[in-house]
Structure 1
Amino acid sequence: MRPLLTIAHPLNILLIDDHFCAREGVALLLQQMLPDAQVFEAHSVETGLAIGGTTRLNLALLDVQLPGKNGLEGLAELKAAFPDLCVVMFSGLEDRELVFEALRLGAMGFIPKSLSRQEFAAALQDVLAGRPYLPASAVAGGSSGLPVPGARWVADPRELGLTPREFEVLRWLVQGKGNKDIAKRLGVSEQTVKNHLRPIFHKFGVARRAELVVKVFERGIVLGAPEVGN
């Protein structure tokens, strides 16, 4: 079977789902789509944390409904243990508040289990390319994840009332990067990044990073992945 996705580097994927049959099915699908990737299965967040402690993971797909500990609690634990790990919620639930709460906690996206094979592949392609994925139910209009009708690609900082440097900081922040990582990528100090964040917060009318990310999605703004080295 021809793979639907290609990657340029080895990829380790962690799949956390307490239902064996569902987990096995998704793992098989991932192997078909990404034959060079290694998929690690876990029935709980604790098992996933143990795997992450011995294996460098690139992507985690985390079910929302887990026994004893829900996926949002698990998301917070995974991001605390592995801040640079790209975590995507994978669920049969598509409640808007649940989706945005996951973003506030650091998720890169929210992929519904109801997607077709092709839609699932497209969603994975987005998050692997550094573009957050949201279900249509979380944004206005459309029948699949971002970009959707009503969403708009923004390439000019002036459209958002930002300076070019503020725009670059925002683009990296939406990708889930922390201040230290953004500073390294832009070749500036961490304090300089913080100095840029203050006017960005003010212009979007928010007080925290998570609120800023949610505001960007709620306004249908699609920034795309920044160019490495910018």
Structure 2
Amino acid sequence: MAVNILLIDDHFCAREAVACLLKQIYPDVQVFEAESFKAGLAIAREQAVNLVLLDLQLPDRNGLDGLAELKQEFPNLCVVMFSGVEDREVVFQALKLGAMGFVVKTVSRQAFVEALRDVLSGKVYLPATMVGKPPASVDIDDAAPGLQPATSPASLGLTPREFEILRWIACGHTNKLIAKQLSIQEQTVRNHLRPIFQKFGVSRRTELLVKLFEQGIVFGLPGAGV
């Protein structure tokens, strides 16, 4: 499909690398580049873009402020924050302002492709490492407004084993790693995932992570007791 993507980043090398990758993923893509928010906004006003990759730190505008301005002028525009900073509190704010995702610049090629696929199909993308853990300033026993500490299986309507597996998923662990941690078979992990998915009304892991994030559900450290 034809895709028009606006990349707003003040680092030339970063823009060139991402633009090259985008053209490999989507042969028909047209990439518009801007080194400042002002330049990016001008392009957004002139071109019909499907997606904006917006750097969090720009010389002329804080990325979150830029996001708010873009969403105010273009409410239906798909904007994804693209940053070297991995901060859950910042991600919360970006989602609140209308971002469709948050991609860390150190993400793998596979995860980057998944992120683009998700947001262009109308889904929200978040890396697993940003979901399920409270912001550093929040005590799990004294959560800030909007956060829901999951302190027991019953609080989420799960069995103890499902709750334990969900904790590991929230930390970004794969089925294989979870199986190793719990000394069970990988297929057993998959079997437990089905009722977890049903409980949250999702069909895949990324959707589950987004749901946890959106509902503000946070966990203590896996294996620390329930």
Confirm or deny that 1:97 pairs with 2:82. no
Pairing partner for 1:143 from 169, 172, 178: 172
Q: Tell me, what secondary structure is at the counterpart of 2:27?
A: coil
SS of the residue corresponding to residue 36 of structure 1 reads: coil
Partner SS state of residue 35, structure 1: coil
TM-score, with structure 2 as normaliser = 0.62
Q: Which aligned runs of 4 or more in structure 1 are off by greater than 6 angstroms?
A: none
Larger Rg, first or second structure (1 or 2): 2
- Preserved contact between residue 6 and residue 51 of structure 2 (Cα < 8 Å): yes
SS at match of 2:52: strand
**How far 1:219 sits from its partner (Å)?**
3.6
Pairwise CA RMSD of aligned residues? 2.8
Partner Cα separation in structure 1 for residue 62 and residue 123 of structure 2 = 25
Shift of 1:15: 0.3
Partner of 1:3: none
User: Which of 106, 115, 137 is the aligned partner of 1:114?
Assistant: 106
Give the structure 1 partner of residue 216 of structure 2. Answer: 218
* SS of residue paired to 1:88: strand
Percent identity of paired positions between Structure 1 and Structure 2: 57
Quick check: 1:17–1:62 contact (8 Å CA) kept in 2? Answer: yes
Shift of 1:214: 8.5
Change (3 A) 1:217 1:13: farther
Partner of 1:18: 10
Pairing 1:73–2:65 present: yes
Give the distance between the partners of 1:41 and 1:48, measured in 2 at CA. 7
Q: 1:137 to 1:43 in 2, by over 3 A?
A: same
Q: Which residue does 1:129 correspond to in 2?
A: 121
**Pairing 1:160-179 to 2, within 5 Å after superposition:** none
Counterpart residue type for residue 112 of structure 2: F
Aligned residue pair count: 155
Deviation at 1:26, TM superposition (A): 0.5
User: Do the aligned partners of residues 214 and 70 (structure 1) sit closer, same or farther apart at CA in structure 2, a change above 3 Å counting?
Assistant: farther
Contact 2:128-2:171 within 8 A present in 1 as well = yes
Tell me the TM-score normalised to structure 1 length.
0.61
Partner Cα separation in structure 2 for residue 20 and residue 214 of structure 1: 35
How big is the shift at 1:19?
0.4
Deviation at 1:47, TM superposition (A): 0.8
1:31 maps onto 2:31 in alignment: no
* TM-aligned CA distance change 1:68 to 1:54, over 3 Å: closer
Shift of 1:96: 0.5
- Contact 1:15/1:62, CA 8 A, preserved across alignment: yes
Q: CA deviation at 1:123?
A: 1.3
| Structure 2 runs not aligned, ≥5 long | 133-169, 179-192, 202-210, 219-226
